[in-house]
Structure 1
Amino acid sequence: MDSESADLTKEYIKMMTDMIVLCATLALSLFFWIVSLTLSAVSGNLQPVSPWRWLLSILVPLTMAVRALRRRSLDRSGALAALLVGFVLTMANFSFVSTMLTFFLTSTKLTRWGAEKKKKIEADYKEGGQRNWIQVFCNGGVPTELALLYMIEVGPGEIPVDFGKQYSASWMCLSLLGALACCAGDTWASEVGPVLSQSQPRLITTWQEVPVGTNGGVTPVGLVASFLGGAVVGGAYFLTQLLLVSDLHLADPQWPIVVYGGVAGLLGSVLDSFLGAHMQYSGFDSSIGKVVSYESATTRRICGKPILDNNAVNLFSSVLIALFLPGMAWGAWPR
């Protein structure tokens, strides 16, 4: 009886906590909306942000951060960082946050998939792939900055990708999508390749066979997975556009967004592997029988130098894709 009472008490406390959080979220979103209206009335040239957008900008990141914290996909610092990233992306454009959520959810699922096999080959394997604030900002920092620039350019809201009508904003949209697709492609390749690949990885710089887990090692399965990961992220962006943008028929075709995401995922994975082969140390530690990123008396060097870690390589790859890929897409975009 005591255990039943304790369980009921816990359920009651959980329900009350959820209600308090929801009420606080509603109050906070209403407060931000009033501030937005006030600033718009004073300046005369600002458009007030909808209270629904304020509400979703707080509620969606909060829900996802709490869920990720409970499932140990993020630690506390990662959850706080995700709140900031999620708030900015949701406020700027719902296509942005749907893309980020697709990347995060699929990556989390794939990280947990094939855990037993990954434990045997990864020296720094973490149960559930728990991410901290550094990893969150290395993957979401560039998109967050682009979302802020997007809001300065056109304000919060959804627009079609159309270089003829919204050149700079369209560039920012594709840059943001490219950065997230790059991260998704690299994650899908690194999570799917070791589990499904039947062939030994080859170092991207020399094409010599290397042990599984070597930075810069690629497989055909991993490359295909990187394209699919980017395409899935691009598909989430495209689907959100179809649902929320009313004048898509007046803009350039939007379906290339899916292909663009796939290309960004593939190129991002290749670029990540190239940087990893040169700037990340990989060595085989005979004492544990695994590839490691540190030098020791029992370690035989495979490739790379200890210049960057995995987070920095991810960041550099996403920055380069965000900077250069939209220019290539602009010339090839159908009109």
Structure 2
Amino acid sequence: MLHGYRKKSLSTSGALAAFSVGFGTLRNDWSVFGVVLLVFYFTGSKLTKYKAERKKQLEEEYLECGQRTASQVYSNALIGTILSVIHQYYYGDGNLSGSCLLSDQGSRFIFYMYLGIYATCNGDTWASELGILNEGWPILITTFKKVPPGTNGGISPLGLLASILGGLLIGISATISLILTNSCQGHPEIILIASVAGLIGSLIDSLLGATVQITKYNEKSHKVARHDDKDSKVVSGYDLLNNNQR
């Protein structure tokens, strides 16, 4: 929390929200829950600031400091935190027989849900932060027509690859953590589940962005414009949701 606040990757409300997320997750006896959360947070923060000047040239609403608010923190991490707390309640404090949390069906089910959520979030974050830097214009997922970089619902080769890699990193991190701390051997499906979740999550987010979130483009500034910009034209979608609601 303090690291993110000092580095300006979290606003004040975001830092407080991050504290509650961290507390609810890191108190879990199984360290893999905390490892997954930290990998998601640190890689997302780094990629948000990666080539910030270039992103600023493409989007009027791009925040140079990349600060996350409480609503942004909870939109990504609230469900995962709840799952971690539930898992700790039922399977923490020595309530799980065996040295591997995957040995119990209920424990495994909750963990896979947790893994899938953060793999989805990480894949979508990587796709958004790296996909906008694709050399050519992306295509809209609903019409396959070329749209300006930064358009909600736009997909590109770089963005799709990034979504898989984002999920893959979550899967690899979880697998290594389980092997080192919980003696969980022989579970390659973790990496597969996380990689697929990263891709599917990004595609679903793109579909929502193309349909229920409006994107406007200002031809004078050559940037994806703010939704209230009267001098811009609508590229796609309807003004029903924002980035924090999908």
TM range (shorter): over 0.9
| 1:142 positional shift | 0.9
Q: In the alignment, does 2:48 pair up with 1:135? A: no
Hey, what does 2:142 align to over in structure 1?
205
Equivalent residue for 1:275, pick from 197, 208, 229? 208
Contact 1:108 1:128 in 2 (8 A): no
| 1:199 positional shift | 2.0
| 1:232 positional shift | 0.5
**Structure 1 residues not aligned, in runs of 5+:** 1-64, 314-335
Equivalent residue for 1:172, pick from 104, 110, 131? 110
Q: In the alignment, residue 110 of structure 2 is paired with which amino acid? A: M
Q: Structure 1, residues 282-325: CA drift from partner, whole Å, max 9, x if none?
A: 11123533213514431211111111100111xxxxxxxxxxxx
Q: In the alignment, residue 79 of structure 1 is paired with which amino acid? A: A
Equivalent residue for 2:17, pick from 72, 76, 81? 81
* Distance across 1 between alignment mates of 2:152 and 2:100: 38
Hey, what does 1:309 align to over in structure 2?
242
Structure 1: which 4+ aligned runs deviate by more than 6 Å?
A: none
Q: In the alignment, residue 309 of structure 1 is paired with which amino acid? A: N
291-300 or 83-92, which deviates more: 291-300
* Distance across 2 between alignment mates of 1:288 and 1:96: 44
Hey, what does 1:45 align to over in structure 2?
none
| 1:152 positional shift | 2.5
Q: Structure 1, residues 198-226: CA drift from partner, whole Å, max 9, x if none?
A: 22100001111111111000001100010
* Distance across 1 between alignment mates of 2:245 and 2:110: 22
* Distance across 1 between alignment mates of 2:230 and 2:5: 38
RMSD over equivalenced CA pairs, Å: 1.6
Note closer, same or farther for the CA distance 1:137–1:145 as it changes in structure 2 (3 Å cut).
Answer: same
Q: In the alignment, does 2:3 pair up with 1:67? A: yes
Q: How does 1:112-131 map to 2 (within 5 A)?
A: 112-131=49-68
What SS is found at the alignment partner of 2:45? helix
Equivalent residue for 1:239, pick from 176, 187, 198? 176
* Distance across 2 between alignment mates of 1:226 and 1:182: 8
* Distance across 2 between alignment mates of 1:156 and 1:187: 33
- TM-score normalised by L of structure 2: 0.93
Hey, what does 1:109 align to over in structure 2?
46
Note closer, same or farther for the CA distance 1:156–1:206 as it changes in structure 2 (3 Å cut).
Answer: farther
Note closer, same or farther for the CA distance 1:156–1:287 as it changes in structure 2 (3 Å cut).
Answer: farther
The higher-RCO structure (CA 8 Å, 6+ apart) is: 2
**Structure 2 residues not aligned, in runs of 5+:** none
Q: Structure 1, residues 9-36: CA drift from partner, whole Å, max 9, x if none?
A: xxxxxxxxxxxxxxxxxxxxxxxxxxxx
